[in-house]
Amino acid sequence: MATLAPLPDTTKEFINWSWEQIAPYFAELAARPLTATTVNQWLKDWSNLSELMQECSNRLEVAVSQDTADKEVETRFFNFLDNIQPKWTTAEQQLKEKLLASGLEPQGFEIPLRNMRSEAALFREVNLPLLVELTKLGTEYDGIKGAQTVNWDGKEITVMQLRPYSSNPDRNLREKAWRAAVDRNVADRQAINALWQKVLPIRWQVAKNAGLKDFREYIWRSYLRFDYTPEDCLRFHDAIEQTVVPAVKRLAERKRAALNIESIRPWDMNSSDMSFGANVDPKARPPLKPYQTATELEQKAAAIFSQVDPELGEEFEMMRRSNLLDLDNRKGKAPGGYCTSFPRERRPFIFMNAVGIHDDVQTLLHEGGHAFHVFETAHLPYVQQTNYTMEIAEVASMAMELLAQPYLASDGGYYSKEDAARATAEHLEGMLLFWPYMAVVDAFQHWAHTSGELALDPANLDAKWGELYDRFMNWQDWSGLDDAKVTGWQRKLHIFRVPFYYVEYGIAQLGAAQVWRNSLRDQAAATAAYRKALALGGTRPLPELYAAAGIKLAFDSETLGQAVELIEETLHKLDA
């Protein structure tokens, strides 16, 4: 083989390379002899190439979301997806198999190897078309939801466009919008039942092809859930029922009294189902107004991060200087917010659609936590070591939201003391409210994927969802709303598109609550441990990552109960 020119240092030129230009570098790695003495250099070269590839992919994706009207960028991105991505995936797979076949165990590579072994063991050629079929059925679900419109004051609007009414202080208006949204969903009941009846047997087949007992076992392996079991999740549900549900009942009762209403209906308090009734303010105060311009949003976040930890503040300032933030909403931007990374430069990038509301502050603090995770892992030699799962990634982000709370009103912060207290209370209430709904969604899926044919019958699915609502959501009054209640599973996109993907948030939230508890005792020590855990990237098993952060990967009622107690105590203090 002719000697290859060295790879470029950045993606500047590389992003324009064709697969024909890239392929020889993968081929050379695939051909190079692999021994104990050559493996470190081989890994380093593989990592460099992967970093360049991943950064190109991420940069194109960012560019598309920054200007959805730019057809040239879109064409380049689609070209990457169609002509480069599949070949890249195959080439990466070859290198993974080569490393596995070598039997070598390079230091610091134990966990990436564990993941590769698991992926290789799960892989079945015959499952590829089935997985594509599942993705397509997921798109069908989106299609049904996307076509849902309602007649609202004589105008045809989408169900999504009812969202602004969801927290309106006018209770009748909230109810009207909630009913319009739910009725429209219930109208698609048969269509979604039929879709589910297509999805479930394919999932069975995928599991069977992989030689596994059921689809839950398949998901456990596919999501790399090595450190907890389905039984742990069921234990977590029990713990939520015992400790969180009573606390939410007390919270709901206080809210009911303050709002001076007979009972809490689904449009009065956010249950995460339709996201209705979030933060309805009994005092009917105007919404929080944290900042005017995106520059102000950035400056104040920088001030807060610096108070959490001066080095984190410096990292965020670096993002500001280096054009790694695109925060303000403008025409042509894709919706939503995210943090991605540029792996070659080992730098994060945050994208948002800020419009001047408190949600933007919360989102930036959250994405900031993800961004710090990228900075903290920049020292790891191989990019494969920076792949970590959601259970720790969301600790980085959710804990940062909590670590930042004390500084919302301090020097350079967003709020007066009173407004900061209100923002913190809303956040803590949101945490409490999330766990029970998460338990419903997760428990439902455990049942649906371990009950065989029973889970094909919509009547059984409805009954199970209703039963779980009675168990976890009984602080809400659903009387007279039976159809809306039992079809709630049809409104949860995860069940159709990303099965079982949800408990991660509940687990990580308990981790974040523990980081916060530690910070109230010793802020500096808690932040240092948090950073230490992040810096390990994906090189250690989850329980060790949690332990490094000074917290426990936990599913038990004792750990959860302590978190709930702290949240309730703090809510009482903020109320006073």
With CA atoms as reference, report the closest residue to 150 among 140, 141, 161, 165: 161
* 46: Cβ contacts below 8 Å, ≥ 6 apart: 29, 95, 382
- The nearer residue to Zn ion, 279 or 397, going by C-beta atoms, is 397
- Three-state DSSP class for 325? strand
Interface map 176-205 toward Zn ion (x if CB under 5 A): ------------------------------
As a residue count, the chain comes to 576
What are the structure tokens assigned to 263, written together? 């009972």
Q: State which residue, 88 or 349, has the beta carbon closest to Zn ion.
A: 349
In the complex, minimum distance from the CB of residue 348 to Zn ion, in angstroms, rounded to a whole number: 12
- The end-to-end CA distance of the chain, in Å, is 75
Between 58 and 205, whose beta carbon lies closer to Zn ion? 58
Question: Judged by CB under 5 A, which stretch of 223-231, 309-317, 396-404, 425-433 contacts Zn ion?
Answer: 396-404
Tokens of 299: 């400056």
What's the closest the beta carbon of residue 394 comes to Zn ion, in angstroms? 5
Strands across the sheet with 325-328, in order?
Answer: 325-328, 347-354, 338-342
Count of C-beta atoms within a 10 Å radius of residue 136? 9
- Of 339 and 455, CB closest to Zn ion: 339
Q: Is 341 in the site for Zn ion (CB under 5 A)?
A: no
Query: What's the DSSP call for residue 107?
Result: T
Nearer to Zn ion, 269 or 339 (CB): 339
Q: Residue count at the site for Zn ion (CB under 5 A)?
A: 1
Interface of this chain with Zn ion, residues 146 to 165, rule: CB under 5 A: none
Alpha carbon 134 to chain centroid, angstroms: 21
Coil/strand/helix, residue 451: coil
> 242 vs 223, 246, 511, 554, CA distance in Å?
28, 7, 18, 15
Nearest to Zn ion of 371, 408 (CB atom)? 371
- At closest approach, how far in Å is the CB of 118 from Zn ion? 24
Smallest gap from Cβ 390 to Zn ion, in A, equals 8
Asked whether the beta carbons of 516 and 503 are under 8 A apart, the reply is no
Indicate whether 340 belongs to the interface with Zn ion (CB under 5 A). Answer: no
How far apart are alpha carbons 423 and 246 in whole angstroms?
23
Q: How far is the CB of 463 from Zn ion (least distance, A)?
A: 33
- Residues 6 or more apart whose Cβ sits within 8 Å of residue 513: 402, 431, 563, 566, 567
Site string for Zn ion, 344-383 (x = CB under 5 A): ----------------------------------------
Pairing of strands 347-354, 338-342: antiparallel
Q: 3-state DSSP call for residue 195? A: helix
Sole binder of Zn ion in the list 65, 397, 445, 518 (CB under 5 A): 397
User: Which range, of 259-267, 391-399, 404-412, 504-512, touches Zn ion by CB under 5 A?
Assistant: 391-399
Q: How far is the CB of 371 from Zn ion (least distance, A)?
A: 11
Question: Least separation, in Å, of the C-beta of 530 and Zn ion?
Answer: 15
* 280 versus 438: smaller Cβ distance to Zn ion: 438
Nearer to Zn ion, 243 or 397 (CB): 397
> Which residue has its beta carbon closest to Zn ion?
397
Contact flag: residue 539 with Zn ion (CB under 5 A): no
Instruction: Provide the binding-site residues for Zn ion, judged by CB under 5 A.
Output: 397
